[in-house]
Amino acid sequence: MISKETYLRNMQVIDTYIENISKSENDINKIRELLRKKADELNIKYRIRKDGSTEIIHPDHIPEYQEIKVTKEVIVPRIEKQSSCDIAILSKNFKDQMLGAIEYTNNTDREVHYTLCDTHKGKRLTTPSFGSRKSVSPPQGKCKKEFGNSSREVAEFHTHPKEYENFGGFSGADLISFYDTPEDKVNCVVKEVKIGHTKNIRVRCAKTRDVKNFVGSLDWKLSKNITDKNVNEFMSAIDTIDERKQEKFSCFVDFPIGSKFKDISQLKKEQKKKSPSLYKKLYG
């Protein structure tokens, strides 16, 4: 999706284009055809009226470009952000599997999902679930099925392919799927990102209760219950939440591709030296 600024500039391009075409072309149907072709090229949305004319849609009337106001009440305290990321990032097996999962995703364009379970033998990862380019639907109750009825879900992560539209963040579908999970469960998405000339793995995490608080506070909220009737409208609205807004209810950590696992003390030292602002954000 192009930015709102680019969209507005492209609307001006279309105005000039049609003005010039109209000077040499008298066939109204031909002009309309050229207008629609140009709009498609510039990623401009339009609708065809009953009389056959074309109406260019202004970005203010497109949900993806509408601003979402975030209230102070939904900002997650720093300690919550830290704990969410710590559970996912600072567990050796979890991190090793994330590296393997993103490599698989980059090679196949398919999403991969793992669940971290609290079992009588400690924290264990489930077997992976594989999906399509845009989604993965793991079976319910994987912890109990694989590790016994006393096991419970602690966290989960799934990958996003490199070209995924939400750059390193949650998609609308992700947030809706998190909405119905246990309050303290940590939900993460893993994606390859490029920071300068370095390729990194970005892991963004949020607890279910923080997702619920955020989604429930939005001005366009339809209902606290997502139903079959309003799910598409919910998803369209939630898809407009960019990474900056997601920082209100989530945390993220980047680490270079190919990096080996480091414990919490090593990670803190490196982050404090390389990125003081991120260190302060995560650890105070």
- Residue 101: its pLDDT value, please? 83
pLDDT digits (tens, 9 = 90+) for 132-152: 766 777 778 889 999 999 998
Domain match, 118 and 248 both? yes
Domain match, 137 and 89 both? yes
- Residue 51: its pLDDT value, please? 82
Both structure tokens of 248: 């209100």
Last residue of a domain, one of 16, 34, 65: 65
Using CA atoms, how far apart are residues 52 and 66, in angstroms rounded to an integer? Answer: 28
Domain match, 177 and 55 both? no
Question: DSSP character for 273?
Answer: H
Using CA atoms, how far apart are residues 143 and 114, in angstroms rounded to an integer? Answer: 10
User: Number of helices (H) and strands (E), helices first, in the chain?
Assistant: 11, 9
pLDDT digits (tens, 9 = 90+) for 13-31: 988 888 888 888 888 888 8
Establish if 70 belongs to a structural domain. Answer: no
- Domain residues for the domain of 93 are 75-283
Domain match, 14 and 55 both? yes
146 alpha-carbon distance from chain centroid: 28
Q: Please count the structural domains in the chain.
A: 2
Domain match, 14 and 107 both? no
Domain match, 95 and 53 both? no
Last residue of a domain, one of 19, 47, 65: 65
The domain that holds 148 is classified in CATH as 3.40.140
Q: Report residues of the chain scoring pLDDT below 70.
A: 63-82, 87-93, 133-134, 164-168, 217-226, 234-240, 242, 256-271, 274-275, 277-284
pLDDT digits (tens, 9 = 90+) for 207-227: 988 888 877 766 555 555 667
Domain match, 144 and 232 both? yes
From first CA to last CA, the distance across the chain in angstroms is 35
- Residue 65: its pLDDT value, please? 67
Domain match, 134 and 190 both? yes
Domain match, 53 and 153 both? no
Domain match, 47 and 172 both? no
